Amino acid sequence: MMLMVSVQNLHEAKQAMQGHADIIDVKNLQEALVGSAKPTIFKSVRDAVPSEIHASLTLGVVPNQEGTVAMAVWAAGKMNATSVKVGFMQAEYEKSVEILQASKEALEGTETKLIGSLFADNVLYKGGLDPHLMPKLARDGNCDGWLIDTLTKDGRNLFDFIPESELKDMVMEGKSDGMSTALSGHLKMSDLDELARVNPDIVGVRGAVCSRGDRDNGVYWESVAEFKHQVELRKFGEIDVLQNPLEVNNLVSSNTSGWIVIDGTGKNCAGIIAALSEQIKQDNSSLIEVVIPGILNIYDVIVWAENSGHKILNQRKENEGTLRMLVQP
């Protein structure tokens, strides 16, 4: 899991970087429910953030206007945003697909990734687009990934609207599609065990990493660092959150015409599963040895393999939190 911290200005971005956030997400929390930062603010952040750290731009709840949204997305691409998030609240499904497709077209020639977004609490609003449609909407809209967030400010968070088991299924569906998956929505340190079991590629926070836990007080680097540390403890199994412990064996297997190695080092879980799926699509006779970092990613690859009917022939621990797995399609 990567840590994404929402910031509103350059000062907060520097605090997030000092706390070793993986993604600096620029948004405007004062505009409507959530809106976009001004171009000058995002540019100042983008210029200050090193290339190895992601700088993403959130457009917030977008209007049902294809051209207007595509133009904003185009601007994000021109400013070299790592990704741009397009969110829908009270919207028709087909119109949302059209807006996302136009947004993807607007990003042609750039490296900016398109992230579709729905809100878990859309059910509270008349005409709110069902958040359970997120994986399908992302596929139909040609997105590179998706985010589920919340809009309410009444103390409820993501898990109050969508239970852990449903989020797990949605995240696994997204990973199987090769999408990056992100969860946010008033998440706190106390939600980390549930989040780790769901294991999205990205966890987004703000209030939890602000001074005294108040989102209006601004991002504070020490809080970011502590949240990141707690994510890492779960990611590599130093804090065990899995209900069913992983069994690692050394059973070797069968003859095969080939042997392929996929190194997942530095990849997120969606990237590992996408690489496995693509390899099997091209060649379903060779064994695949995959290097998987992080106990949570290991667990999800096992679940993916079992759900897809593939056999796990061998699992061998290497360095702490890293495993080599042999998969037979």
Residues forming the active site: 27, 85
Copy the structure tokens of residue 170.
């949605």
Spatial distance between the Cα atoms of 113 and 22, rounded to a whole number of angstroms? 16
Nearest to 105 by CA among 133, 144, 131, 74: 74
Task: Kindly give, in sequence order, each residue whose CB lies less than 8 Å from that of residue 33, ignoring residues fewer than 6 positions away.
Answer: 60, 61, 89, 151
CB 162 within 8 A of CB 183: no
Q: Cα separations (Å) of 31 from 40, 42, 58, 278?
A: 16, 15, 12, 42
Task: Kindly give, in sequence order, each residue whose CB lies less than 8 Å from that of residue 146, ignoring residues fewer than 6 positions away.
Answer: 115, 116, 117, 118, 134, 135, 137, 138, 174, 179, 180, 181, 182
Copy the structure tokens of residue 94.
């087909």
According to DSSP H, which parts of the chain are helical?
10-18, 39-48, 66-78, 93-106, 134-140, 158-161, 164-176, 192-198, 221-235, 269-282, 295-308
Nearest to 193 by CA among 132, 245, 235, 150: 235
Nearest to 304 by CA among 255, 282, 271: 271
